[in-house]
Amino acid sequence: MREDNITLNKRKKVRIDICTIRDFKEASLKEGYRLKEIEDNNLKKEIIEVFNVDEKVADKLHSFIKDEEHTFRADNINSFIDYIEKIVLFEDNHKKLCRQIKGIKRLHIDREEYEREPSIQDDVDEIINIIETLKPKISSVIDKSGIDKIYNIEKELSKYYVYAKDIELLKRMISNKNDKIFENYNVQKRVKTLSIDIPKELNKDYIKATKGTVEYHQHLNNNIPRMERLIKNLNKYMKSHESEIKSFKIDQSEALQDTINIAIASFNGKEFKAISGKNNIRGYCNAPYLGKAAFEACKVNKLGKLGVGYKRVNDSEKKIFEEIHKQISGGELKDNGELILYSKWEPCPSCYYVISQFCEMHPNINVKVKYHKKYGE
């Protein structure tokens, strides 16, 4: 703990605070950037040339250090420049998103709540023994090429889909200082519905951190990609309401999970891809219909405890092993060889149990599992 505090103190010491033109010039000079001009227009031109930023960023930066209303804390001068660039980008994206939802009267946003009600602990002693025997035989940490495969897929998915946290950001935007929010919970379906009237004007203070702080910069880094996905893909998730004019429905459960797992398997010269969650994505393995599954899934909660929570029927690893088994049964694949599964996260106990069932059905297939992060990290 003492070492952690020392490291934190050292990091704090190297940060810079910029509020005024003088602060900015002094911080720039210390890092080798010499700014000579004093006049407003000349200084803005020099900022553009020295830091290679566009005019909009230079204008925003200059307005901050001239008005002296905010003190910006950053690791160094380039981090400060990035901070200002992110503010400009955030404000531009905010305007785009506002234009996109302008004209909508009300949004109804559904979300499944799997663990709202406590579940009974199943007897899983036998399954635990099976998993503990299997894991050391098949599992190892992934190499760089495997990591690259996973993150290339993740990057590609971000172009065409939104995440549940993206929808959460949208909810914060339209709920901020809004008293026209109505909540309903369907016990049978375990679905919570938020009905939110869209305000005529959406301000930007749904980010609660103070502008200038390190926390605000981090919020910008987190939220800008979410806004960009919403701008590009939100329309794919919006459906017209059956009886309300200018009202739309969004099923948040159809969005990609925040802790999405991505898995890729190589077997018999073919590649199989899947992501966790209730989604049907072209080119990816999907969960079989109810009653058609070859392998039994178990209940696992968010902490990774086996026997409680909800059944992991939509996990990425299960989707892949179900699809490979189906193709073997249909004669499309040979029932022997080496199967390598690459996974962003270590398989949960339910997925290890699914793999054990697959190995029992297909003893001539040598299964290897390579993962990037331990479950629960």
Q: Where along the chain do its domains lie?
A: 2-98, 103-114+160-254, 125-151+260-373
C-alpha 223/C-alpha 217 separation (Å) is 10
Phi, psi of 263 (to 5 degrees): -130, 145
- What's the pLDDT score for residue 117? 63
What are the pLDDT digits (tens) for 30-63? 999 988 766 777 899 999 999 999 999 999 999 9
Q: Supply the pLDDT for residue 243.
A: 93
Would you state the pLDDT for residue 197?
97
The more confident residue out of 113 and 173 is 173
| d(C-alpha 275, C-alpha 258), whole Å | 12
Measured in degrees and rounded to the nearest 5, phi and psi for residue 245 equal: -70, 140
| pLDDT, tens digit (0-9, with 9 covering 90-100), for 9-28 | 445 558 999 999 999 999 99
The pLDDT, as a whole number, for residue 120 is 86
Give mean pLDDT, residues 322-347: 97
pLDDT of residue 377: 63
Q: What is the amino acid identity at position 212?
A: G
pLDDT value of position 1: 44
Angle of helix 164-175 relative to helix 77-101, nearest 10 degrees, comes to 80
Q: Is the pLDDT at 3 greater than 50, yes or no?
A: no
pLDDT at 353 over 80: yes
**H or E segment at 141?**
strand 139-141
- The mean pLDDT value for 137-163 works out to 93
Which of 35-39, 98-102, 175-179, 352-356 shows the lowest per-residue confidence on average (mean pLDDT)?
Answer: 35-39
Q: What is the mean pLDDT of residues 350-361?
A: 98
pLDDT score of 66 more than 70: yes
CA distance 124 to 306: 7
The arithmetic mean of pLDDT across residues 280-289, rounded, is: 91
Q: How confident is the model at residue 280 (pLDDT cuts 50, 70, 90)?
A: confident
**pLDDT recorded at residue 162:** 95
Q: What integer is the mean pLDDT of 338-353?
A: 97
212 backbone φψ class: left, alpha, beta (φ>0; ψ -120 to 50):
left
Does the predicted model carry a pTM greater than 0.85? no
First to last CA, the chain: 20
- Rounded to the nearest integer, the mean pLDDT of the chain is 92
Please give the Cα distance from 86 to 64 (Å, whole number).
Answer: 14
State the DSSP code for 238: E
Q: According to the model, what pLDDT value does residue 376 have?
A: 63
Supply the pLDDT for residue 10: 47
The answer to whether the CB of 196 falls within 8 A of the CB of 175 is yes
Q: Do the Cβ atoms of 12 and 213 come closer than 8 Å?
A: no
Tens of pLDDT, residues 177-208: 999 999 999 988 889 999 999 998 898 889 88
Percentage of the chain exceeding pLDDT 70:
94
pLDDT of residue 6: 44
